[in-house]
Amino acid sequence: MKQSAQAMTQASRYDWRREEIAELYERPFADLLFQAQTVHRQHFDPNAVQVSTLLSIKTGKCPEDCAYCPQSVRFETELQPEPLLPLDEVIAAAERAKQNGASRFCMGAAWRSPKDRDLEQVIDMVEAVKDLGLETCLTLGMLNEAQAKRLKDAGLDYYNHNLDTSPEFYNDIITTRTYQDRLETLHHVRSAGINVCCGGILGMGESRADRVGLLHELVIQQPHPESVPINMLVRVQGTPLESVEDFDPIEFVRTIAIARILMPTSYVRLSAGREEMSDEMQALCFLAGANSIFYGEKLLTTPNPAAMHDKVLFEKLGIQPV
């Protein structure tokens, strides 16, 4: 049965059932993209994409065992650990990001959770980046309630803490922290009044049911995460997932479209894995409702398309960076 455009531009819901999300995955591809684009146009300019830059401010020697991550101390990768960057280097990187058109500067540190003495230095970075006129985002691992409040008081705009996958598949990927640990950090961030950036990773060997489960966990958050990064696994030699099979591009685009339908007012971000995506695949993702990317040649430690390539692609598609 055909649906009217009005019926497909539903307001935000928090009561989606997994069965409903699974049904979206079964829709004909053209119908799904039409619905996603219709919803997208209700809430966003379809030809505008928000641009962020991500910098690793502390690299490697993370005690966690996330199977996808080259920064884990448990895996033999070619990554060279680096201590927390000096403030002047962070400011210089933020200035370059702004010159390249980024409106948000994200900083990531490979910690299980930050110590208070580390947080002091990170707060100095947040304040300096905000002084440049950029939005700020951090990903530092788990936070407690007091740390989230301190970051809010420093003016932090966004905090990233991904769920990664479904609760059922989670223990196949990570054993050093629980799903509930992640949800508690998100609760502290939301309670402090900081915008939430939360998404997951596709292509880790999960089933479609696990993708449904991840999206369900995101959509029942009230409110929805303001930013939803959808990553495609970057396979890194030395990690347990180095030999996982290629992920189907059409399934990736389907997931982008469903995220847009489920969370109509959230920014849906193409994150890790864009280096392996063709221009045509990225164009389909934008058509499906993705409206945020990372500029820059590296996402923490993995490759990302050069800013100039993105600018050329935007010009081809008539997209304006914001």
Catalytic residues: 62, 66, 69, 106, 137, 197, 269
Task: Give the Cα-Cα-Cα angle 71, 104, 51 (nearest 5 degrees).
Answer: 90
Count of beta carbons in the 10 Å neighbourhood of residue 315: 10
317, with CB counted inside 10 A (0-12, 13-18, 19+), is: middle
CA distance 152 to 215: 27
Is the Cα dihedral 95, 99, 105, 106 positive or negative? negative
Question: Strand (E) positions, the chain?
Answer: 48-58, 104-109, 135-139, 158-160, 195-197, 200-202, 227-232, 267-270, 292-295, 298-299, 302-303, 320-321
Q: Which residues of 155-180 are buried (b: 16+ CB within 10 A; e: fewer)?
A: ebbbbbbbbbbbbebbeebbeebebe
